[in-house]
Amino acid sequence: MNNGPKGTLLQIAELGVPLLREKSSIVEKIKSKEVQSLINNMVATVQEVDGVGIAAPQVHQSLRVFIIASHPSPRYPKAPRMRPFAVINPVILEESSEKEKGWEGCLSIPGIRGLVPRYTRLKIKYLTRAGKERELDLQGFLARIFQHEYDHLEGKVFIDRLDSTKDVITEKEYRRLFQKKRK
């Protein structure tokens, strides 16, 4: 573990670590030093690896907390830019009837991407790191990030959501195809 600018960089659990396949526990003491430190460290880690989200099980913690850190990148050039924020003890209140397939990768499954069907809109409820309850309507890419990270809290990974194993490609091939489309 290295020290990042605002936190300690955490080791990312990769597929095969049993914790990634377990349902996470409710966060009881949100304002505790341990939970606040975990959030800081998760933000530092997701920023260091240029990710758009990270869930506590991915850093070996069985807690219902994740970070949404959307920003444009080579993998997601149209992603909205926003400040990373913690989502604690989330609940999905409503899902749209429509789903859309989109390419996803995962820090816990390096080198692989999949074409994953996700709901296009969600209404969610969660607690902030200050312990305040919030409701949000999410759509598009932010709804996709939320569902991906929420799955981690439920012991699922994106490959569990694929319609077909034919919807899986390597990161290298994805980048080759993506660069070809941009030209």
Active site residues: 149
Taking the alpha carbons of 97, 139, 99, 108 in that order, is the dihedral positive or negative? negative
Token duo for residue 107? 């820090």
